[in-house]
Amino acid sequence: MRIQSVEVIAIDIPLTQNFGGSTYTVLKRSTVITRLRTKDGLASEVFNGDNREHGLEIVRIIRDELLPLVRGMSIFEHERMWEKMFALTIANRDRKTLLEAISCMDCAVWDLTGKALGKSVRELLGGYRDRLPILSIGGYYMPGKKLADFGTEIESYRKAGMAGCKFKVGGLTPEEDAKRVAVARKAAGDDFMLCVDANRGWTAQDAIRFGRLIEHLNIAWFEEPCHWYDDAAMMARVRNAIRIPVTAGQSEITSQGVRRLLDAGAVDFVNYDVSEGGGVTDWRRAASMCAASGVRMAHHEESQISQHLLAGIPHGTYAECFAHPERDPIWQTVWVNRPEARDGMIAVSKRSGFGIKLDAKLVRKHRVN
Protein backbone atom coordinates (compact mmCIF):
# COMPACT_ATOMS: atom_id res chain seq x y z
CA MET A 1 0.00 0.00 0.00
CA ARG A 2 2.22 2.78 -1.30
CA ILE A 3 1.34 6.38 -2.00
CA GLN A 4 1.12 7.31 -5.67
CA SER A 5 -0.88 10.51 -6.29
CA VAL A 6 -3.07 13.16 -4.74
CA GLU A 7 -6.04 15.33 -5.69
CA VAL A 8 -6.50 18.43 -3.52
CA ILE A 9 -9.57 20.65 -3.68
CA ALA A 10 -10.03 24.03 -1.99
CA ILE A 11 -13.63 24.92 -1.13
CA ASP A 12 -15.10 28.39 -0.50
CA ILE A 13 -18.77 28.94 0.40
CA PRO A 14 -19.92 32.54 1.11
CA LEU A 15 -21.98 33.00 4.28
CA THR A 16 -25.10 35.13 4.59
CA GLN A 17 -23.80 37.16 7.54
CA ASN A 18 -20.70 37.69 9.66
CA PHE A 19 -20.30 34.92 12.24
CA GLY A 20 -17.43 36.60 14.07
CA GLY A 21 -15.96 36.43 17.55
CA SER A 22 -14.13 39.00 19.63
CA THR A 23 -11.00 39.17 17.45
CA TYR A 24 -12.04 38.04 13.96
CA THR A 25 -14.73 38.01 11.27
CA VAL A 26 -16.16 35.02 9.38
CA LEU A 27 -17.71 35.74 5.98
CA LYS A 28 -17.18 32.39 4.25
CA ARG A 29 -16.76 28.70 5.05
CA SER A 30 -13.61 27.28 3.54
CA THR A 31 -11.89 23.92 3.72
CA VAL A 32 -9.49 21.65 1.83
CA ILE A 33 -10.42 18.16 0.59
CA THR A 34 -7.56 15.67 0.22
CA ARG A 35 -7.89 12.55 -1.91
CA LEU A 36 -4.64 10.66 -1.49
CA ARG A 37 -4.33 7.53 -3.62
CA THR A 38 -2.19 4.39 -3.39
CA LYS A 39 -0.81 2.26 -6.20
CA ASP A 40 -3.42 -0.35 -5.24
CA GLY A 41 -6.27 2.06 -5.97
CA LEU A 42 -7.21 2.92 -2.38
CA ALA A 43 -8.30 6.57 -1.96
CA SER A 44 -8.83 8.85 1.03
CA GLU A 45 -11.72 11.28 1.43
CA VAL A 46 -11.01 13.84 4.14
CA PHE A 47 -11.53 17.54 4.61
CA ASN A 48 -9.55 19.72 6.98
CA GLY A 49 -9.67 23.17 8.41
CA ASP A 50 -11.78 26.28 8.28
CA ASN A 51 -9.08 28.15 6.39
CA ARG A 52 -10.43 31.43 5.09
CA GLU A 53 -7.28 32.85 3.49
CA HIS A 54 -4.79 30.30 2.25
CA GLY A 55 -6.71 27.41 0.68
CA LEU A 56 -5.02 27.67 -2.71
CA GLU A 57 -1.58 27.89 -1.11
CA ILE A 58 -2.31 24.74 0.90
CA VAL A 59 -3.27 23.00 -2.36
CA ARG A 60 0.03 24.09 -3.93
CA ILE A 61 2.13 22.96 -0.96
CA ILE A 62 0.52 19.51 -0.92
CA ARG A 63 0.88 19.03 -4.66
CA ASP A 64 4.34 20.52 -5.22
CA GLU A 65 6.18 19.99 -1.93
CA LEU A 66 4.63 17.26 0.22
CA LEU A 67 3.59 14.62 -2.31
CA PRO A 68 7.10 14.39 -3.86
CA LEU A 69 8.51 13.73 -0.36
CA VAL A 70 6.20 10.82 0.45
CA ARG A 71 5.39 9.30 -2.95
CA GLY A 72 6.24 5.60 -2.88
CA MET A 73 6.15 5.33 0.91
CA SER A 74 3.94 2.82 2.71
CA ILE A 75 0.76 4.21 4.28
CA PHE A 76 1.83 2.50 7.52
CA GLU A 77 4.96 4.64 7.87
CA HIS A 78 3.17 7.45 9.70
CA GLU A 79 6.08 8.68 11.77
CA ARG A 80 8.70 8.59 9.02
CA MET A 81 6.35 10.31 6.61
CA TRP A 82 5.45 13.00 9.13
CA GLU A 83 9.12 13.56 9.97
CA LYS A 84 10.01 14.14 6.32
CA MET A 85 7.21 16.65 5.87
CA PHE A 86 7.84 18.45 9.16
CA ALA A 87 11.50 18.97 8.21
CA LEU A 88 10.26 21.63 5.76
CA THR A 89 9.32 23.83 8.74
CA ILE A 90 12.99 24.41 9.64
CA ALA A 91 13.37 26.95 6.82
CA ASN A 92 12.12 30.50 7.41
CA ARG A 93 8.63 30.52 5.87
CA ASP A 94 4.92 30.65 6.71
CA ARG A 95 4.93 27.67 9.05
CA LYS A 96 1.26 27.89 10.02
CA THR A 97 0.07 27.33 6.44
CA LEU A 98 2.67 24.58 5.96
CA LEU A 99 1.44 22.77 9.09
CA GLU A 100 -2.13 22.97 7.79
CA ALA A 101 -0.98 21.34 4.55
CA ILE A 102 0.90 18.64 6.49
CA SER A 103 -2.28 18.00 8.47
CA CYS A 104 -4.27 17.42 5.29
CA MET A 105 -1.73 14.82 4.16
CA ASP A 106 -1.38 13.19 7.56
CA CYS A 107 -5.14 12.85 8.07
CA ALA A 108 -5.43 11.40 4.57
CA VAL A 109 -2.78 8.79 5.46
CA TRP A 110 -4.69 7.83 8.62
CA ASP A 111 -7.87 7.56 6.55
CA LEU A 112 -6.07 5.23 4.13
CA THR A 113 -4.67 3.19 7.02
CA GLY A 114 -8.12 2.65 8.45
CA LYS A 115 -9.53 1.71 5.05
CA ALA A 116 -6.69 -0.73 4.40
CA LEU A 117 -7.28 -2.46 7.75
CA GLY A 118 -11.07 -2.18 7.75
CA LYS A 119 -10.97 -0.17 10.99
CA SER A 120 -12.18 3.29 11.95
CA VAL A 121 -9.61 5.82 13.10
CA ARG A 122 -11.36 5.72 16.48
CA GLU A 123 -10.41 2.05 16.74
CA LEU A 124 -6.85 2.70 15.57
CA LEU A 125 -6.41 5.27 18.35
CA GLY A 126 -7.77 3.10 21.14
CA GLY A 127 -11.53 2.72 20.63
CA TYR A 128 -12.38 3.92 24.14
CA ARG A 129 -16.03 4.80 23.41
CA ASP A 130 -18.41 4.76 20.46
CA ARG A 131 -20.59 7.75 21.42
CA LEU A 132 -19.55 11.30 22.19
CA PRO A 133 -21.28 14.43 23.50
CA ILE A 134 -21.43 17.35 21.07
CA LEU A 135 -21.82 21.09 21.57
CA SER A 136 -22.43 24.00 19.22
CA ILE A 137 -20.32 27.12 18.93
CA GLY A 138 -22.50 30.23 19.18
CA GLY A 139 -23.15 33.55 20.87
CA TYR A 140 -21.86 35.52 17.88
CA TYR A 141 -21.51 39.28 17.83
CA MET A 142 -23.88 40.58 15.16
CA PRO A 143 -25.26 44.07 14.47
CA GLY A 144 -28.71 44.61 15.95
CA LYS A 145 -28.62 41.48 18.10
CA LYS A 146 -30.44 42.05 21.40
CA LEU A 147 -29.94 40.30 24.73
CA ALA A 148 -33.15 38.31 24.28
CA ASP A 149 -31.87 37.00 20.95
CA PHE A 150 -29.09 35.10 22.73
CA GLY A 151 -31.68 33.21 24.73
CA THR A 152 -33.52 32.26 21.54
CA GLU A 153 -30.25 31.14 19.97
CA ILE A 154 -29.38 28.88 22.90
CA GLU A 155 -32.84 27.32 22.82
CA SER A 156 -32.35 26.52 19.13
CA TYR A 157 -29.16 24.59 19.92
CA ARG A 158 -30.95 22.47 22.50
CA LYS A 159 -33.66 21.71 19.92
CA ALA A 160 -30.91 20.73 17.45
CA GLY A 161 -29.79 17.97 19.83
CA MET A 162 -26.76 19.70 21.29
CA ALA A 163 -25.40 18.98 24.78
CA GLY A 164 -24.24 22.56 25.20
CA CYS A 165 -22.88 25.73 23.66
CA LYS A 166 -19.46 27.38 23.49
CA PHE A 167 -20.47 31.02 23.78
CA LYS A 168 -18.45 33.91 22.31
CA VAL A 169 -17.18 36.58 24.71
CA GLY A 170 -14.21 38.94 24.82
CA GLY A 171 -15.52 41.52 22.39
CA LEU A 172 -17.15 43.81 24.95
CA THR A 173 -16.37 44.86 28.50
CA PRO A 174 -16.41 42.07 31.09
CA GLU A 175 -19.63 43.50 32.54
CA GLU A 176 -21.43 43.64 29.18
CA ASP A 177 -20.36 40.14 28.20
CA ALA A 178 -21.36 38.81 31.61
CA LYS A 179 -24.92 40.03 30.95
CA ARG A 180 -24.96 38.11 27.65
CA VAL A 181 -23.78 34.93 29.36
CA ALA A 182 -26.39 35.30 32.10
CA VAL A 183 -29.15 35.44 29.47
CA ALA A 184 -27.71 32.34 27.80
CA ARG A 185 -27.61 30.39 31.08
CA LYS A 186 -31.20 31.34 31.94
CA ALA A 187 -32.40 30.14 28.54
CA ALA A 188 -30.31 26.97 28.61
CA GLY A 189 -31.28 25.73 32.05
CA ASP A 190 -28.93 24.10 34.54
CA ASP A 191 -28.51 20.82 32.64
CA PHE A 192 -27.15 22.40 29.43
CA MET A 193 -23.36 22.73 29.20
CA LEU A 194 -22.21 26.33 28.77
CA CYS A 195 -18.62 27.32 27.99
CA VAL A 196 -17.27 30.78 27.18
CA ASP A 197 -14.64 31.57 24.56
CA ALA A 198 -12.85 34.95 24.46
CA ASN A 199 -10.63 34.11 21.46
CA ARG A 200 -7.69 35.82 23.21
CA GLY A 201 -9.69 39.01 23.57
CA TRP A 202 -8.77 40.27 27.07
CA THR A 203 -5.94 41.20 29.37
CA ALA A 204 -5.47 38.95 32.39
CA GLN A 205 -7.07 41.59 34.61
CA ASP A 206 -10.21 41.84 32.48
CA ALA A 207 -10.43 38.05 32.11
CA ILE A 208 -10.26 37.65 35.89
CA ARG A 209 -12.94 40.31 36.39
CA PHE A 210 -15.18 38.58 33.86
CA GLY A 211 -14.57 35.16 35.37
CA ARG A 212 -15.60 36.33 38.81
CA LEU A 213 -18.78 37.86 37.40
CA ILE A 214 -19.92 34.55 35.88
CA GLU A 215 -18.54 31.97 38.33
CA HIS A 216 -22.00 31.39 39.78
CA LEU A 217 -23.42 30.44 36.35
CA ASN A 218 -21.94 26.92 36.25
CA ILE A 219 -19.54 27.54 33.35
CA ALA A 220 -17.79 24.40 32.13
CA TRP A 221 -14.68 26.19 30.85
CA PHE A 222 -13.24 29.58 29.94
CA GLU A 223 -11.45 29.31 26.61
CA GLU A 224 -8.51 31.42 25.43
CA PRO A 225 -9.15 34.26 27.88
CA CYS A 226 -6.00 36.32 27.24
CA HIS A 227 -4.18 38.17 24.47
CA TRP A 228 -1.86 36.12 22.25
CA TYR A 229 1.50 37.71 23.08
CA ASP A 230 1.89 36.26 26.59
CA ASP A 231 -1.07 33.97 26.80
CA ALA A 232 0.46 31.08 28.76
CA ALA A 233 1.64 33.27 31.64
CA MET A 234 -1.55 35.33 31.66
CA MET A 235 -3.81 32.26 31.52
CA ALA A 236 -1.95 30.79 34.49
CA ARG A 237 -2.81 33.97 36.41
CA VAL A 238 -6.46 33.69 35.38
CA ARG A 239 -6.61 30.01 36.25
CA ASN A 240 -5.25 30.67 39.74
CA ALA A 241 -7.66 33.55 40.35
CA ILE A 242 -11.03 32.04 39.37
CA ARG A 243 -12.93 28.78 39.91
CA ILE A 244 -13.73 28.18 36.20
CA PRO A 245 -11.47 25.70 34.35
CA VAL A 246 -9.33 27.24 31.59
CA THR A 247 -9.03 25.85 28.06
CA ALA A 248 -6.57 26.65 25.26
CA GLY A 249 -4.53 25.01 22.52
CA GLN A 250 -6.38 25.72 19.28
CA SER A 251 -3.88 28.47 18.41
CA GLU A 252 -0.87 26.15 18.79
CA ILE A 253 0.61 24.54 15.70
CA THR A 254 2.84 21.93 17.39
CA SER A 255 2.64 19.54 20.32
CA GLN A 256 5.61 21.48 21.71
CA GLY A 257 3.29 24.47 21.93
CA VAL A 258 0.87 22.35 23.95
CA ARG A 259 3.75 21.37 26.26
CA ARG A 260 4.39 25.09 26.83
CA LEU A 261 0.81 25.49 28.12
CA LEU A 262 1.18 22.45 30.40
CA ASP A 263 4.54 23.62 31.77
CA ALA A 264 3.03 27.02 32.58
CA GLY A 265 0.15 25.48 34.53
CA ALA A 266 -2.16 27.45 32.23
CA VAL A 267 -4.87 24.92 31.29
CA ASP A 268 -7.34 22.35 32.57
CA PHE A 269 -8.38 21.33 29.03
CA VAL A 270 -6.44 21.40 25.75
CA ASN A 271 -8.31 21.85 22.47
CA TYR A 272 -5.39 21.31 20.10
CA ASP A 273 -6.76 21.33 16.54
CA VAL A 274 -5.55 18.47 14.36
CA SER A 275 -6.05 20.61 11.25
CA GLU A 276 -3.81 23.40 12.58
CA GLY A 277 -1.13 21.23 14.13
CA GLY A 278 0.16 18.77 11.58
CA GLY A 279 -2.45 16.05 11.74
CA VAL A 280 -3.33 13.01 13.83
CA THR A 281 0.29 11.97 14.28
CA ASP A 282 1.21 15.08 16.26
CA TRP A 283 -2.19 15.32 17.96
CA ARG A 284 -1.50 11.93 19.54
CA ARG A 285 1.69 13.31 21.09
CA ALA A 286 -0.20 16.26 22.57
CA ALA A 287 -2.93 13.93 23.88
CA SER A 288 -0.34 11.70 25.57
CA MET A 289 1.30 14.66 27.32
CA CYS A 290 -2.10 15.84 28.52
CA ALA A 291 -2.98 12.39 29.84
CA ALA A 292 0.25 12.31 31.85
CA SER A 293 -0.50 15.81 33.18
CA GLY A 294 -4.09 15.15 34.21
CA VAL A 295 -5.43 17.51 31.54
CA ARG A 296 -8.43 16.53 29.43
CA MET A 297 -8.61 16.82 25.63
CA ALA A 298 -11.17 18.86 23.77
CA HIS A 299 -10.89 19.80 20.08
CA HIS A 300 -11.44 23.01 18.16
CA GLU A 301 -14.25 22.44 15.61
CA GLU A 302 -13.65 19.73 12.94
CA SER A 303 -16.08 17.10 14.25
CA GLN A 304 -15.54 14.96 11.13
CA ILE A 305 -12.04 14.32 12.50
CA SER A 306 -12.37 15.04 16.22
CA GLN A 307 -15.15 12.50 16.82
CA HIS A 308 -12.61 9.74 16.21
CA LEU A 309 -9.78 11.34 18.17
CA LEU A 310 -11.81 12.19 21.27
CA ALA A 311 -13.68 8.87 21.29
CA GLY A 312 -10.44 6.93 20.90
CA ILE A 313 -8.91 8.07 24.20
CA PRO A 314 -10.05 7.96 27.86
CA HIS A 315 -9.63 11.71 28.47
CA GLY A 316 -11.55 13.00 25.43
CA THR A 317 -14.46 15.39 26.00
CA TYR A 318 -16.85 17.16 23.60
CA ALA A 319 -16.97 17.32 19.82
CA GLU A 320 -17.81 20.77 18.45
CA CYS A 321 -19.91 21.90 15.52
CA PHE A 322 -21.83 24.91 14.20
CA ALA A 323 -25.50 24.05 14.66
CA HIS A 324 -26.69 27.42 13.34
CA PRO A 325 -28.13 26.49 9.92
CA GLU A 326 -26.24 29.28 8.11
CA ARG A 327 -22.84 29.16 9.84
CA ASP A 328 -21.41 25.95 8.38
CA PRO A 329 -22.86 24.79 5.04
CA ILE A 330 -20.21 22.08 4.84
CA TRP A 331 -21.42 20.49 8.09
CA GLN A 332 -25.06 21.08 7.14
CA THR A 333 -25.05 19.93 3.49
CA VAL A 334 -21.70 18.90 1.96
CA TRP A 335 -20.85 16.21 4.56
CA VAL A 336 -23.72 13.90 3.67
CA ASN A 337 -23.23 11.13 6.24
CA ARG A 338 -22.43 13.16 9.34
CA PRO A 339 -23.80 11.61 12.55
CA GLU A 340 -27.07 13.00 13.83
CA ALA A 341 -27.04 14.73 17.20
CA ARG A 342 -29.64 13.35 19.60
CA ASP A 343 -30.03 14.18 23.26
CA GLY A 344 -26.62 15.80 23.24
CA MET A 345 -24.78 12.81 21.78
CA ILE A 346 -23.49 11.54 18.44
CA ALA A 347 -22.66 7.97 17.46
CA VAL A 348 -19.10 7.94 16.14
CA SER A 349 -18.79 6.59 12.62
CA LYS A 350 -17.97 2.88 12.44
CA ARG A 351 -16.94 3.06 8.80
CA SER A 352 -13.28 2.42 8.00
CA GLY A 353 -10.92 5.37 8.19
CA PHE A 354 -12.73 8.60 9.02
CA GLY A 355 -15.80 7.32 7.18
CA ILE A 356 -16.52 10.63 5.43
CA LYS A 357 -18.83 10.90 2.41
CA LEU A 358 -19.16 14.22 0.59
CA ASP A 359 -21.74 15.54 -1.85
CA ALA A 360 -19.84 15.46 -5.17
CA LYS A 361 -22.16 17.96 -6.82
CA LEU A 362 -21.69 20.55 -4.08
CA VAL A 363 -17.93 19.97 -4.08
CA ARG A 364 -17.83 20.75 -7.81
CA LYS A 365 -19.99 23.82 -7.30
CA HIS A 366 -17.86 25.38 -4.58
CA ARG A 367 -14.33 24.36 -5.53
CA VAL A 368 -11.99 27.27 -6.28
CA ASN A 369 -9.13 25.39 -7.99
State mean pLDDT over 320-337. 96
Q: Closest Cα to residue 297, out of 316, 278, 275?
A: 316
Give the residue-averaged pLDDT of 339-343: 96
Q: Which residue has the higher pLDDT, 12 or 143?
A: 12
pLDDT per residue over 185-228, tens digit each? 999 999 999 999 999 999 999 999 999 999 999 999 999 999 99
- What is the average pLDDT score of the chain? 96
Distance CA 104, CA 109 (A): 9
pLDDT-derived band at 81 (thresholds 50, 70, 90) equals very high
Q: What tens digit of pLDDT does each residue of 104-149 get? A: 999 999 999 999 999 999 999 999 999 999 999 999 998 889 999 9
Q: What is the pLDDT of residue 302?
A: 96
For the residues of 314-336, what is the DSSP string, one character each?
TTB--EEE--STTT-HIIIIIBT
Residue 53 pLDDT: 84
Q: Which CATH superfamily is domain 123-347 in?
A: Enolase-like C-terminal domain (3.20.20.120)
* Window from 46-60, 114-128, 169-183, 311-325 with minimum mean pLDDT: 46-60
Domain 3-119+358-366 in CATH 3.30.360.10:
no
| pLDDT score, position 45 | 98
Question: Kind of pairing, strands 193-197 and 222-223?
Answer: parallel
Is the pLDDT reported for residue 22 higher than 90? Answer: no
Q: Is the pLDDT of residue 173 over 90?
A: yes
Single-letter residue type at 90: I
Model confidence band, residue 360 (pLDDT cutoffs 50, 70, 90): very high
Contact between residue 355 and residue 349 where contact means Cβ atoms under 8 Å apart: yes
Per-residue confidence (pLDDT) for residue 52, from 0 to 100: 77
How many residues would you count in the chain? Answer: 369
pLDDT at 19 over 90: no
Quote the pLDDT of residue 143: 86
DSSP state of 347: E
Q: What is the pTM of this model?
A: 0.96
Write out the residue limits of the CATH 3.20.20.120 domain(s) in the chain. Answer: 123-347
Q: What is the mean pLDDT of residues 237-264?
A: 98
Domain with CATH 3.30.390.10 in the chain: 3-119+358-366
Mean pLDDT of 233-243: 98
Sequence-distant (≥ 6) Cβ neighbours of residue 191 within 8 angstroms: none
H or E stretch at 80: helix 78-86
Residue 180 bridge partners (DSSP): none
